Structure 1
Amino acid sequence: MHLTTPDLDSQVVAWAMFDPSVSEADVQMQSGDEDEPPYASVLDAMRDDWNVLQTPRLPENPTDFQTGHLLYEYVLQKFD
């Protein structure tokens, strides 16, 4: 999940799902498959027993660039 700020309760702006149990014949989540994130925030996912890893913040792009990476990335993992 990518958030608008480093606050765990801030809005999700992007997300991706990967399920290692999905067979090669089945398709993983693709960009644009869902309109709504699975959780409104990382904090909501934590309340649903997801483990969270905050990835290091990458340096911001120079001011002459308009595009770049999303700054606030969190990896969620759940053990059943």
Structure 2
Amino acid sequence: MALIITDECINCDVCEPECPNGAISQGEEIYEINPSLCTECVGHFDTPQCMEVCPVDCIQKDPDYVEDRDSLYEKYLALTKGSGAA
């Protein structure tokens, strides 16, 4: 499942640089996660790095984008194809 940033976000800027897929960007009001780029850090780390650094715990699993670990890994492979990251 992709992750989502809730409206409790305080725009502290710590999550964006932690995302290895570039899935996090500043939205109109708060940071947003692009579900097509989010792999919950599968393939890069054991845990989602944005969740690890978020000081207000406003990042959670997005129920609109249900994916299992295998699907997330396949997305990781597709995103890193040709980059030498795999």
Relative to total residues, which structure has the larger strand share, 1 or 2?
A: 1
Q: Which band: TM-score by shorter chain?
A: under 0.3
**Which structure is larger by alpha-carbon Rg, 1 or 2?**
1
